[in-house]
Structure 1
Amino acid sequence: MCRWLAYSGSPVRLDDLLYKPSNSLVIQSKHARMGAETTNGDGFGLGWYGTEPLPGLFHSTMPAWHDRNLRELAAQASAGRVFAHIRATTGTAIQETNCHPFRHGQWLWMHNGALTDFPKVKRDLAMAVEPSLYPQIEGSTDSELFFYLALTFGLERDPRAAVAEAVGFIEDAGRRRGIEHPVQMTVATTDGDTTWAFRYSSEGSSRSLFVSSDITTLQAQYPDHPLLHGRSDDTRLVVSEPLGDLQGAWQEVPDGTCLVVHGGEKDLYPFTPSAPVAAAV
């Protein structure tokens, strides 16, 4: 399906995230260890927060391992909050508007997984999107439509509640269409200040998700590791799979969980879909 990472902390050069780790996201684009597919070569995307009011985006339909522009960009650019995503399509077209992360105002969103039998429920889900938001949908993926459902249910006010309602709505719509397990997801979203990450599936067997350990502990354990040098105390990474094999560096996020990263603090909350007010389709 896909692999992704969400970084927050002191400004980091993008190649330190995308190329230098032993199991970097670029390596995962060709040789993922824990994904549903080994290869994630159907495009990639970056989202970052810099000096402008809105986060920047860079999307390409090239495989990440084969894109010279990505290597050039990553060698020069740096940011203190970065979303990166490599794509393995579940059926929708390989085009830039289908590459993650997706953006709405200050918000970014990316997804690994699938809405099962998406064509069967696509119309039901699309009709539930707030009419003022609907024209902003540019691509054809289940992931982008999922984002706009979450926005419809109040993502900008209360992300945990909004995603719970969106998932509840999708499950209700899917089961009305005879789909036994409608949702498979790890999702990350951010407003540029806090990151929310969700691990959930209707069948209770979700895609992998990990969060990095406290950076000061890792720096004490591995004082000579170059990728740990100069990182601020609030540095955190949330990833589909670990970027390396340092013992104690990664903690698995339990299934059915919402992870909230704010500064260097991380909090885990149980995640359960909730029935939205407009659940009928």
Structure 2
Amino acid sequence: MCRWLAYSGAPVTLDDLLYKPPESLVVQSLHSRLGAETTNGDGFGVGWYDGHAPEPGLFRSTQPAWGDRNLRELSRHVRSGTFFAHVRATSGSAVQQSNCHPFRHDRWLFMHNGAVHGFPALRRDLQLAVDPALFPLIEGTTDTETLFHLALTYGLTDDPPAAMAAAVGLVEQVGRRHGVDAPFQGTLATTDGVRMWAVRHASAGPARTLFRNADLTVLKEHYPDNPVLADLSDDTRLIVSEPLGDLRGAWLEVPPSTCVVVDGRDEELRPFVPRAPAA
């Protein structure tokens, strides 16, 4: 489906994580090991916070990440303490810039790996639940953008875990009403530039993969000569679709039906239980 990366910590250049690790996100765009597809070449996007504007910066393209010279150039110069990056393998929607992740609304970014199964049949019912003030802001045709606007409708800016639970709950309710037994599959991530939230969930069967990094202080003690670790601060928090390398002990799998909450150095795992909002 897709691969993504969410970073929080001391400011780094984007290429520290998009290009330098042995199994970097750009490598995964061509040679993913854990994804539903090996190749994620239907576009990419990066969103970052740098303090220069109230909203995050956003760069999205329909080009494959592995061959985009503009992405390589930009990533060597942009520094950020919070950023999202995503490489796309479409599940059916068009390859166009407005369908590339991450999606942005004011200070918020949102991205997804997975699918709303049967989305063409569910789309009308789901979008009718979007706040009328938000509906005109939907530019593309992806299930992800609809999920984002549903979460915004249900209070993403106040309580992200509850809003994502309501959005996924509605997807499951509407899907089953249309005869789709397992409507939702995947991982979600959102941030306001200060905190991050990531969800792993599937309506049925195994959920798409999701990992978080182990404590950097401990890893640096075990691997003092590792150049990638040396460039990262001890408060680094990374959430990824698949590990950026094979370093033993560096990556912890996020359990299914879990929401990861990152607030600075603090990290918390909570149960994720979709609940459709009241009619």
Q: TM-score, normalised by structure 1?
A: 0.97
Alignment correspondent of 2:243: 242
Q: Within the alignment, does 1:190 sit opposite 2:191 as a pair?
A: yes
- Post-superposition Cα deviations, 1:137-194, rounded to whole Å, max 9, x if no partner, equal 1111000000000110111111111111111111110111000100012000001111
- Paired residue secondary structure (1:76): coil
- Paired residue secondary structure (1:220): helix
Q: Provide the C-alpha distance between the structure 2 equivalents of 1:162 and 1:29, rounded to a whole number of angstroms.
A: 30
1:204–1:256: 8 Å Cα contact kept in structure 2? Answer: no
Q: Within the alignment, does 1:275 sit opposite 2:253 as a pair?
A: no
Corresponding letter in the other structure for 1:234: D
The CA deviation at 1:275 is 2.5
Corresponding letter in the other structure for 1:265: D
- Post-superposition Cα deviations, 1:26-51, rounded to whole Å, max 9, x if no partner, equal 11001100000000000000000012
The CA deviation at 1:230 is 4.4
- Structure 2 unaligned blocks of 5 or more: none
Alignment correspondent of 2:132: 131
Alignment correspondent of 1:64: 65
Alignment correspondent of 2:232: 231
Corresponding letter in the other structure for 1:260: V
Q: Provide the C-alpha distance between the structure 2 equivalents of 1:135 and 1:235, rounded to a whole number of angstroms.
A: 37
Q: Provide the C-alpha distance between the structure 2 equivalents of 1:102 and 1:204, rounded to a whole number of angstroms.
A: 27
Alignment root-mean-square deviation, CA:
0.8
Moved over 6 A (4+): none
Percent of counterpart pairs with the same letter? 62
Corresponding letter in the other structure for 1:147: F
- Paired residue secondary structure (2:136): helix
Alignment correspondent of 2:122: 121
1:85–1:110: 8 Å Cα contact kept in structure 2? Answer: yes
Corresponding letter in the other structure for 2:58: L
Q: TM-score, normalised by structure 2?
A: 0.98
Alignment correspondent of 1:103: 104
Alignment correspondent of 1:38: 38
Corresponding letter in the other structure for 1:13: T
Q: Provide the C-alpha distance between the structure 2 equivalents of 1:252 and 1:188, rounded to a whole number of angstroms.
A: 15
Alignment correspondent of 1:77: 78
- Post-superposition Cα deviations, 1:112-144, rounded to whole Å, max 9, x if no partner, equal 000001000000001000000111111110000
Aligned length: 278
Q: Provide the C-alpha distance between the structure 2 equivalents of 1:62 and 1:230, rounded to a whole number of angstroms.
A: 29
